[in-house]
Amino acid sequence: MTRAASAGLVGLAAAALLGSAWLLAVPGPARAADAPGSAAVLFREADLALGDKLVREHKCSECHARKFGGDGAAIYRPQGRVNTPAALRGMVEQCNLELNLAFFPDEVTSIAAVLNRDHYRFK
Protein backbone atom coordinates (compact mmCIF):
# COMPACT_ATOMS: atom_id res chain seq x y z
CA MET A 1 0.00 0.00 0.00
CA THR A 2 1.39 3.47 -0.85
CA ARG A 3 1.75 6.14 1.77
CA ALA A 4 -0.86 8.24 0.02
CA ALA A 5 -3.35 5.37 -0.04
CA SER A 6 -2.94 4.61 3.66
CA ALA A 7 -3.23 8.29 4.55
CA GLY A 8 -6.42 8.28 2.53
CA LEU A 9 -7.74 5.32 4.50
CA VAL A 10 -6.89 6.96 7.80
CA GLY A 11 -8.71 10.05 6.61
CA LEU A 12 -11.74 8.01 5.67
CA ALA A 13 -11.75 6.26 9.04
CA ALA A 14 -11.51 9.61 10.81
CA ALA A 15 -14.35 10.98 8.70
CA ALA A 16 -16.46 7.94 9.53
CA LEU A 17 -15.76 8.38 13.24
CA LEU A 18 -16.53 12.08 13.12
CA GLY A 19 -19.64 11.32 11.13
CA SER A 20 -20.99 8.88 13.70
CA ALA A 21 -20.07 11.17 16.59
CA TRP A 22 -21.98 13.92 14.86
CA LEU A 23 -24.99 11.63 14.46
CA LEU A 24 -24.86 10.74 18.14
CA ALA A 25 -24.63 14.38 19.17
CA VAL A 26 -27.45 15.51 16.89
CA PRO A 27 -30.12 12.84 16.49
CA GLY A 28 -32.43 13.45 13.53
CA PRO A 29 -35.75 14.65 14.99
CA ALA A 30 -34.13 16.78 17.72
CA ARG A 31 -32.39 18.90 15.10
CA ALA A 32 -35.54 20.92 14.53
CA ALA A 33 -34.99 22.32 18.02
CA ASP A 34 -31.78 23.93 16.78
CA ALA A 35 -33.60 25.88 14.11
CA PRO A 36 -33.37 29.68 14.27
CA GLY A 37 -36.07 31.03 16.57
CA SER A 38 -36.35 27.77 18.51
CA ALA A 39 -36.28 27.83 22.29
CA ALA A 40 -32.96 25.96 22.21
CA VAL A 41 -31.39 28.81 20.25
CA LEU A 42 -33.22 31.78 21.77
CA PHE A 43 -32.70 30.67 25.36
CA ARG A 44 -29.20 29.26 24.90
CA GLU A 45 -27.59 31.96 27.06
CA ALA A 46 -30.39 32.03 29.62
CA ASP A 47 -29.49 31.95 33.30
CA LEU A 48 -32.36 29.91 34.74
CA ALA A 49 -31.40 30.56 38.37
CA LEU A 50 -31.46 34.29 37.67
CA GLY A 51 -34.78 33.98 35.84
CA ASP A 52 -36.33 32.09 38.76
CA LYS A 53 -35.10 34.71 41.21
CA LEU A 54 -36.44 37.62 39.15
CA VAL A 55 -39.86 36.02 38.72
CA ARG A 56 -40.09 35.52 42.50
CA GLU A 57 -38.76 38.96 43.38
CA HIS A 58 -41.10 40.77 41.02
CA LYS A 59 -44.19 38.93 42.20
CA CYS A 60 -45.24 38.09 38.67
CA SER A 61 -47.45 35.27 39.93
CA GLU A 62 -49.17 37.37 42.60
CA CYS A 63 -50.54 39.80 40.06
CA HIS A 64 -51.43 37.04 37.58
CA ALA A 65 -53.19 35.13 40.38
CA ARG A 66 -55.30 38.19 41.20
CA LYS A 67 -56.47 38.29 37.57
CA PHE A 68 -56.64 34.56 36.80
CA GLY A 69 -57.04 32.86 40.20
CA GLY A 70 -55.19 29.83 41.50
CA ASP A 71 -51.43 30.27 41.47
CA GLY A 72 -51.65 32.53 38.43
CA ALA A 73 -50.11 29.96 36.12
CA ALA A 74 -53.31 29.79 34.06
CA ILE A 75 -52.29 33.08 32.47
CA TYR A 76 -49.49 31.30 30.61
CA ARG A 77 -51.23 29.94 27.52
CA PRO A 78 -48.98 28.36 24.89
CA GLN A 79 -52.00 28.10 22.57
CA GLY A 80 -52.79 31.80 22.80
CA ARG A 81 -51.10 34.86 21.35
CA VAL A 82 -47.85 33.78 22.93
CA ASN A 83 -47.31 30.81 20.65
CA THR A 84 -43.59 30.93 19.85
CA PRO A 85 -40.44 31.32 21.96
CA ALA A 86 -39.87 34.76 20.41
CA ALA A 87 -43.43 35.87 21.24
CA LEU A 88 -42.89 34.70 24.82
CA ARG A 89 -39.70 36.72 25.12
CA GLY A 90 -41.52 39.67 23.54
CA MET A 91 -44.32 39.43 26.10
CA VAL A 92 -41.84 39.47 28.96
CA GLU A 93 -40.18 42.49 27.36
CA GLN A 94 -43.57 44.19 27.13
CA CYS A 95 -44.28 43.58 30.84
CA ASN A 96 -40.78 44.84 31.51
CA LEU A 97 -41.55 48.15 29.79
CA GLU A 98 -45.11 48.53 31.02
CA LEU A 99 -44.30 47.78 34.63
CA ASN A 100 -41.07 49.79 34.47
CA LEU A 101 -39.02 46.89 35.74
CA ALA A 102 -35.84 47.97 33.93
CA PHE A 103 -34.65 44.44 33.18
CA PHE A 104 -31.56 44.04 31.05
CA PRO A 105 -32.00 42.04 27.82
CA ASP A 106 -30.27 38.99 29.33
CA GLU A 107 -32.65 39.17 32.30
CA VAL A 108 -35.65 39.24 29.98
CA THR A 109 -34.23 36.20 28.18
CA SER A 110 -33.66 34.37 31.46
CA ILE A 111 -37.18 35.07 32.71
CA ALA A 112 -38.69 33.94 29.40
CA ALA A 113 -36.57 30.77 29.54
CA VAL A 114 -37.89 29.95 33.02
CA LEU A 115 -41.49 30.51 31.94
CA ASN A 116 -40.81 28.30 28.95
CA ARG A 117 -39.31 25.57 31.10
CA ASP A 118 -42.19 25.64 33.59
CA HIS A 119 -45.21 26.52 31.47
CA TYR A 120 -44.93 26.95 27.71
CA ARG A 121 -42.49 24.13 26.88
CA PHE A 122 -41.69 25.38 23.38
CA LYS A 123 -38.92 23.40 21.71
Closer to ligand HEC by CB, 31 or 56: give it: 56
Told to check if 53 binds ligand HEC by CB under 6 A, we report no
Contact between 122 and 42 under an 8 Å Cβ cutoff? The reply is: no
Tell me, by CB under 6 A, how many residues bind ligand HEC: 21
Told to check if 115 binds ligand HEC by CB under 6 A, we report yes
Name which of 104, 53, 45, 35 is nearest 92 in CA terms: 104
CA atoms within 13 A on the CB side of 123: 7
Closer to ligand HEC by CB, 39 or 115: give it: 115
Residues 90-109 that bind ligand HEC (CB under 6 A): 91-92, 95, 99, 101
Task: Name the segment binding ligand HEC (CB under 6 A); options: 2-10, 20-28, 29-37, 87-95.
Answer: 87-95
The DSSP H or E segment spanning 4 is helix 3-25
Q: What is the phi-psi region of residue 121: left when phi exceeds 0, alpha when psi lies from -120 to 50, beta otherwise?
A: left
Told to check if 123 binds ligand HEC by CB under 6 A, we report no
